[in-house]
Amino acid sequence: MAVSAKSAAPRLAQAKIRSDQLNTSERDVIADLFAVLETLVVRNELPAEAQGIYDQAVLMLARRWD
Protein backbone atom coordinates (compact mmCIF):
# COMPACT_ATOMS: atom_id res chain seq x y z
CA MET A 1 0.00 0.00 0.00
CA ALA A 2 1.45 3.36 -1.04
CA VAL A 3 1.83 6.05 1.58
CA SER A 4 0.12 9.29 0.61
CA ALA A 5 1.81 12.58 1.44
CA LYS A 6 -1.22 13.83 3.38
CA SER A 7 -1.41 10.72 5.57
CA ALA A 8 2.36 10.67 6.16
CA ALA A 9 2.73 14.40 6.86
CA PRO A 10 1.35 14.52 10.41
CA ARG A 11 3.33 11.49 11.49
CA LEU A 12 6.54 12.89 10.01
CA ALA A 13 6.00 16.41 11.32
CA GLN A 14 5.39 15.13 14.84
CA ALA A 15 7.94 12.35 14.81
CA LYS A 16 11.48 12.95 15.95
CA ILE A 17 13.71 13.11 12.88
CA ARG A 18 16.14 10.20 13.12
CA SER A 19 19.54 10.31 11.49
CA ASP A 20 23.05 9.70 12.76
CA GLN A 21 24.30 12.33 10.32
CA LEU A 22 22.40 15.21 11.96
CA ASN A 23 22.92 16.78 15.34
CA THR A 24 20.01 17.43 17.70
CA SER A 25 19.68 21.08 16.69
CA GLU A 26 19.51 20.17 12.98
CA ARG A 27 16.88 17.49 13.65
CA ASP A 28 14.81 20.00 15.63
CA VAL A 29 14.97 22.54 12.79
CA ILE A 30 13.85 19.92 10.26
CA ALA A 31 11.00 18.76 12.50
CA ASP A 32 9.88 22.38 13.02
CA LEU A 33 10.02 23.05 9.28
CA PHE A 34 7.83 20.05 8.53
CA ALA A 35 5.38 21.14 11.24
CA VAL A 36 5.04 24.56 9.59
CA LEU A 37 4.68 23.00 6.15
CA GLU A 38 2.08 20.57 7.49
CA THR A 39 0.04 23.51 8.77
CA LEU A 40 0.13 25.12 5.32
CA VAL A 41 -0.87 21.82 3.70
CA VAL A 42 -3.80 21.33 6.08
CA ARG A 43 -4.97 24.90 5.40
CA ASN A 44 -4.47 24.35 1.66
CA GLU A 45 -2.28 27.48 1.58
CA LEU A 46 0.77 26.03 -0.14
CA PRO A 47 1.19 27.01 -3.82
CA ALA A 48 0.76 24.06 -6.21
CA GLU A 49 4.45 23.86 -7.14
CA ALA A 50 5.52 23.95 -3.50
CA GLN A 51 2.85 21.37 -2.62
CA GLY A 52 4.35 18.99 -5.19
CA ILE A 53 7.85 19.45 -3.79
CA TYR A 54 6.55 18.98 -0.24
CA ASP A 55 4.67 15.81 -1.23
CA GLN A 56 7.83 14.36 -2.80
CA ALA A 57 9.89 15.17 0.30
CA VAL A 58 7.33 13.61 2.65
CA LEU A 59 7.13 10.43 0.57
CA MET A 60 10.93 10.22 0.37
CA LEU A 61 11.25 10.59 4.15
CA ALA A 62 8.42 8.12 4.78
CA ARG A 63 10.23 5.48 2.71
CA ARG A 64 13.50 6.23 4.48
CA TRP A 65 12.19 6.00 8.04
CA ASP A 66 9.40 3.43 7.82
pLDDT at 1: 40
Tally Cβ neighbours within 10 Å of residue 63: 10
CA nearest 9: which of 21, 43, 25?
43
CA nearest 61: which of 25, 40, 39, 37?
37
The count of domains in the chain is: 1
pLDDT at 15: 54
* Alpha-carbon gap, residue 52 to 60, rounded angstroms: 12
* Alpha-carbon gap, residue 47 to 59, rounded angstroms: 18
pLDDT at 36: 86
Structural domain boundaries, residue 39 = 5-65
pLDDT (tens, 9 = 90+) of the chain, 66 residues, equals 445 556 656 555 555 455 556 677 877 888 888 888 888 888 888 888 888 888 888 888 777 665
* Alpha-carbon gap, residue 2 to 31, rounded angstroms: 23
